[in-house]
Structure formats: C-alpha cells, structure tokens
Amino acid sequence: MKKLYLQFIWHMHQPYYKDTVSNQFLLPWVFFHSIKDYLDIPQYCEKFDIKATFNFVPSLLSQIKDYENESVNDTLIKLIKRRVDTLSDEEKLILTPQLFMANEKTMITPLPNYHKLYLRYQKEQNVKFTNQEILDLELSFLLSWTGNFIRKKESFVKDLINKGEKFTENDKSELFKIYHKNISYITTYYKELYQKNIVELSVTPFYHPIFPLLFDPDSAYEAKKDITVPNNKRAMENEALWHIEEGINFFTNIFHFPPQGIWPAEGSISSKTLNIFAKYVRWSASDQDVLANSLGLNLEDFEEKKKLYQRYIFSDSGLTLFFRDKFLSDLIGFRYAQMDADKASDDFINHLSFIYEKCDFNPLVTIILDGENAWEFYKNNGEDFFESLYKKISATEWISTIRSIDAVNSSSIKYQKIDKITAGSWIYANFTTWIGHPEKNKAWEFIFKTYSEIDKFRNSGGDTTKITQALQELRISEGSDWFWWYGDDHYTDQRDIFDKLFRSHLINCYNILGIEPPIEFFTPINRDSSAKDFILPSQYISPTIDGAITNYFEYLYSGKGNIRYDSSTMNTGEKILERLYWGFDKNFLYLMLTFSNFSSTQQTATKITFEFEYPNNTIQTLTYSTKDSSLTSDFFKNSPTLIAKLNKVLEIQLPLSYFANIDQIGLKVSVSKGDNIIDKAPIYNFFPLNIKSLSFKNWIV
C-alpha cells in the first residue's frame, strides 16, 4: 500500500541568557519553557505513538541543567522566591510588570483572579498592589506558565489552580520544589522515549552559530550576491569545528548516545558545511527554498514541488538531506493557533491528502519548526490541537509518522543525489537576518576583531588557560540570536539586554587576556529605538481615501508604527508590510498601510486581511481583494461609508459605530497569495490600537 511518510522535527532552542562573569541569568525564558513546553510536547507523541525527532541545542541543555538546581542564580526567579514582605517598594515596582509577561488570551484570562488583577493593572495608573495581591500575582504568573504535563502530574499544582487566590509563601516554596524536580526529569524523559523508539534526538552546533558564515563569511555572497559584509571578515574554521565537535560531545554526555543528525541553526547550510557534517552524522536538513535555489525549482508548480517530498543524498558524502515544507510548517507555527483545534487538524490532514493523491510515489513530508515558542498562543498550550491532530494521524491508514534516522534507512522512500547546495537558511534562503545590515555587520566586526586579538595573544605565547577562557566567551557571542535583534527586521522590548549581553561577552575576552577592551565595545550597537512604541493619535484626521498620501498633513497627527518589527523567532516569508497609520474623527476610523516594495506587493498579493480583536476576545475580519478591489467581512456590514482604496498605499475608512463602547482594539494584518500567507504582522499577538482617545502629550500647537 502506498504511504505518506510524515516527519516531524521539533527544534528546541533558547538564546544563551547567562552572564558568565556574574554567573547570573538575566532573562528567565529557559526556566519558563522548561516548566511549560519541554515535557508537554513529547508527551503527546508518547500518548498517540507518534514518531518524531526532537532537536536540542547544547547551550539550551546546559541552561536546563542549571535550572535543575533550586539555588540557580536567575534575576527574576530569585526576586519571586523572596518573601514579598521583604521586598522594597523599588523591588516591587521592578517586579510587578514582569508578572504580566504572559499571553492575555490564553494564559492570563483562564485564571480569573489573575485576569482581574491584570485588568486593574491596565486601567489604573501607578497601581499599588498589596503584599497579598503581589503574592497572588507571583503564583498566578507561575501557574500560567505551567504546562499540562506538570498540571496533570502534580496534584498540588491542580489544587493551587483551583484555589486561585490567597496564596501563601509556603505555597510558593512548594511550587518551586515541584518545578525544579520536573526540570530535572526533562532529559531523562527524552531518553526514555528514545529507548522506546518513539523519538529520535538530534543536535545543533553548540551555541547555535550560523555555521556557513562562521566557517566562510563569503557564503553570504553565494546566498545574495549584492550583500555587504564586514571589511575585516575572516574565515573561522576552527571555531566552526569547535561548535560541532563540542556540541556532539556535550549531547552525548547528557543522553549517553551520539546524535545521528544535525539540524543546523536556522536551517543554514552550504556545500562546505555539508561536507563537514557528513564526517560526524548521517543526516541534516534545511528549508524548501534552499532546495529550490539549488535545483532551480519553481515551487509554485506542484509538478516541480513534488521533488520536495523525497530525501536527498549529498554528493559522494553519503549524508542524507531533508527539506521542510515551509507552508505546512508555518501553518502549525503561525496560523492554527487562531483556529478551532478540530478545524485546524482537519485542514492539515486535507493538505497531506492533496500531496498523497498527487504524488505517484511514497511522499516524505518534512515538518520542521520551533518546538516551544508557538504554544503560548494556542488554547490550553496546544494540547487540544495536538490531541486532535495526532489522534487523526494515528487513525489514518495511509499516513505513517517516521523518525529522521528511520527515513534515512527506509527503502520505501524515494531519494536522489544532489551535488551542490546553494548556501542559504530557512529565512529568505539567504543570511540577511544575520549579516548585511550595518548593525549586524558591526557585531561581526567586533567578533573578528576579538578573534584576531586572541590569535595575537596565542602567537605571543600567552597563557593557555586564559586563551581557553577567552575563547569560551567568544564562542557564546558567535550564536545567531544576537544578530537576530540587530538591524531593522525584528524587535523585542528586551533587545537592549541582548545587545548588552553580546558586547559583555566580547569585553570579557579582553579582560581575561589582560588587554584594554576597545572603547567602542562599551557603546550599544543597536542605535535605532524608533520601533519601540507606536505613536498614538494626537489630533483628529480626515484623509481622502484614494490609495495615496495626498498631502503631508493627511496622517501627520495619526497614530503610527513600524510593523516590520515583531518579537517572533521565526518568519513566514518575504517582508512586505512596512508601516501602519491609524486615526479617527467623530465618525470614522481610518487605517493606512504602506509597503516595503509596492510594485512587488501589487504583483504578488491577492488579498490583505485585517483581524480585529475585541476586549471580549472576539475576533472579526475584514479582507481587501487586490484583484477586484472588493471588501469582504464576517462582521462589518456593507455600507457606503465602508470604503477602501489601494494605489501606492492601502487606505480604509470604517464607521466608528462598528466599535460602539470600545476604546481599544487589537489589530493584526496579513498579506496572502492565494491561500498562502506570505507576510503577517505581528506573528502571534495583536497590535493594541487606541481608537477613540487622543494622546495630548503628542499634540503639536
């Protein structure tokens, strides 16, 4: 019987948040994903006997090991563990906003008292919570980040959720003991599932570097010929080899067996990279666009896209290559969180059915995505979706899930030889997310400069212990995550912390060697903070809806923001959306979108969809068709005053009566080509738009 082989590869990764000098974690996200995701996601595989591959970054495993210890030195966790009555007013002021770092819809709202305190925090300026309320906030925050694995396993956690408020310091102490105990079980649990042949475990080079750039910076030219790279660039082959060798050694020490596959950071590969990987493992993987560039495929033509659904043998190395289906992977990562779980799983099975019917061979469909960051945007941390999807997959006779190493060995899966790979990653099939922008290049310049200083120190007979310590700091700075937050393509409120951490590791190198660090290393690389906040409307506006900025004053007093920024860790495709403007008069709400490349947008996009989120979590949509200039909606009624026009920009006018008794809405914008979303902002959350109040502090007189 013909089969469709379905290969899930879940990539487990967090940046390295530890300041090695103070031995302190400056951001707590490894802890929170450890109690929420790393046990939850594999448990569904075990329940439904779904074969899958879980990829671990060694620097994440190292941090998880740190959090097994109850005395771990984490800035936020230590503050929460303190008795509330010992906190100063300043410490409470620092702590309080951090206790709301959770998704409102899926994590805060399900806990009634937490939601009540959240609404009060949102409405009251300079709100001062009592000690009991802060304690309740601490426990509620922790419980909101507690995954279903721990919730079901630990009766004490269930009792706390049912209790909901009036928590005690003893409750908090006991809860943390449970957390650290379960974090200690993470690697053991994966080993158990591996021994049952349910999962395979693979690895990424140690600190998650963009391997082709580290090994040979000229790989950037291969991916994008007109890119600008640092003048002081140099190949760092020894550094690249350290990341792979030490990564494999660390992985093997943790799990007691060597990995057989490598998922390279951000799916970044090149021919040189693969020749190196082939010496250590049996398989690697990347994105469909890298395959398309390498073979000259038009993936819009399904006859050509069929070549995606097989495995490849790279050159004479014997290394097997898999290429992910971007569309299906991104459906899970970005789209299904907004859908009913059963409808989402049906949609996924339908897409698989189409591939199965169209292929005259046993197709191998590879799904690769972030294994942790998406689930906080799903209801119930993704449990409803996984239960629905995996149950249907298990009941579907023509679908067979498969581990990567089993796909390597399978005689039922079609394969062909590929002699050359065009360098690229799973974002735009190039490396522009990590090199090319002046800020990104400056970060690389700092790395190359530091490496040269270490070389000089070594060549002059410098102390080997100091060299080892300095190289450790340098290697942390070689990770991809630092470069993600430089430039103008992503934004997070914590980017200043990332900038500081990156530079501190390089400064540490100089201090270890007893050399004065360059003065420029003490100045933030990230100079553009314009995207940090949306500017609120300051006066009424009444633009002409003609698809163009008719005059300078049309949107002068509007709210505005750069929507090329988001805080996601994955991308859905080409960046199209640029800026959003909004404002109102007494009768209408006005929206205006600008695009990074309008002519390209006009040729590519078939529809632009606005999702409006109301305070009661209701979501309504408004879609503009670029083909026939029509507006369709599941809520907004046809009205002569509901109008839109696309020329150089997209302008929309909506009657304010649609938003009766509402002062703020959430807004999300997506651009589609057919059924495929090719750009979306923001990826997960909604932009909060104040639609009836003016910001007097921004008024221009």
pLDDT in tens, 191-204: 999 999 999 999 99
Give the β-pairing of 199-203 and 52-56. parallel
- 302 & 238 share domain: yes
Structural domains of the chain, count: 4
121-138 pLDDT, tens digit each: 988 877 899 999 999 999
Per DSSP, the three-state class of 22 is coil
489-538 pLDDT, tens digit each: 776 667 788 899 999 999 999 999 999 999 999 999 987 544 445 677 87
**What's the start-to-end Cα distance of the chain, in Å?**
76
- 444 & 413 share domain: no
Structure tokens at 269: 């590969």
More confident: 687 or 245: 245
Domain housing 387:
200-208+231-418
Asked, for residue 426, whether it belongs to a domain, the answer is no
Final residue in a domain of this structure, among 387, 418, 449: 418
pLDDT at 685: 66
Final residue in a domain of this structure, among 116, 149, 183: 183
Give the β-pairing of 319-324 and 631-633. unpaired
Structure tokens at 691: 């639609």
Radius of gyration (C-alpha) of the chain in whole angstroms = 26
pLDDT at 699: 33
Residue 175 pLDDT exceeds 90 = yes
Asked, for residue 36, whether it belongs to a domain, the answer is no
Position 697 confidence tier, pLDDT thresholds 50, 70, 90 = very low
Final residue in a domain of this structure, among 522, 549, 576: 522
Question: Looking at this protein, which amino acid is placed at residue 288?
Answer: Q
Q: What is the CATH number of the domain that holds 602?
A: 2.60.40.10
- 350 & 484 share domain: no
- 689 & 570 share domain: yes
Neighbours of 466 (CB within 10 A): 16
Gap between the Cα atoms of 229 and 489, Å rounded? 17
Q: What is the CATH number of the domain that holds 287?
A: 3.20.110.20
Asked, for residue 542, whether it belongs to a domain, the answer is no
- 474 & 599 share domain: no
Instruction: Give CA torsion, residues 564, 565, 569, 571, to 10 deg.
Output: 0
- 241 & 300 share domain: yes
Asked, for residue 428, whether it belongs to a domain, the answer is no
Structure tokens at 489: 């393509």
Structure tokens at 518: 């360059």
Per DSSP, the three-state class of 243 is helix
Residue 597's contacts (CB-CB under 8 Å, 6 or more residues apart) are 576
308-320 pLDDT, tens digit each: 999 999 999 999 9
Asked, for residue 245, whether it belongs to a domain, the answer is yes
- 277 & 407 share domain: yes
Residue 482 pLDDT exceeds 70 = yes
- 270 & 407 share domain: yes
Contact by Cβ (8 Å): 39, 149: yes
Residue 4 pLDDT exceeds 70 = yes
Asked, for residue 124, whether it belongs to a domain, the answer is yes
- 589 & 651 share domain: yes
Structure tokens at 295: 């073979």
> Lowest-pLDDT range, 30-44, 252-266, 324-338, 667-681?
667-681
381-399 pLDDT, tens digit each: 999 999 999 999 999 999 9
- 471 & 401 share domain: no
Mean pLDDT of the chain: 91
Residue 444 pLDDT exceeds 70 = yes
Asked, for residue 553, whether it belongs to a domain, the answer is no
- 586 & 664 share domain: yes
Asked, for residue 89, whether it belongs to a domain, the answer is yes
- 384 & 482 share domain: no
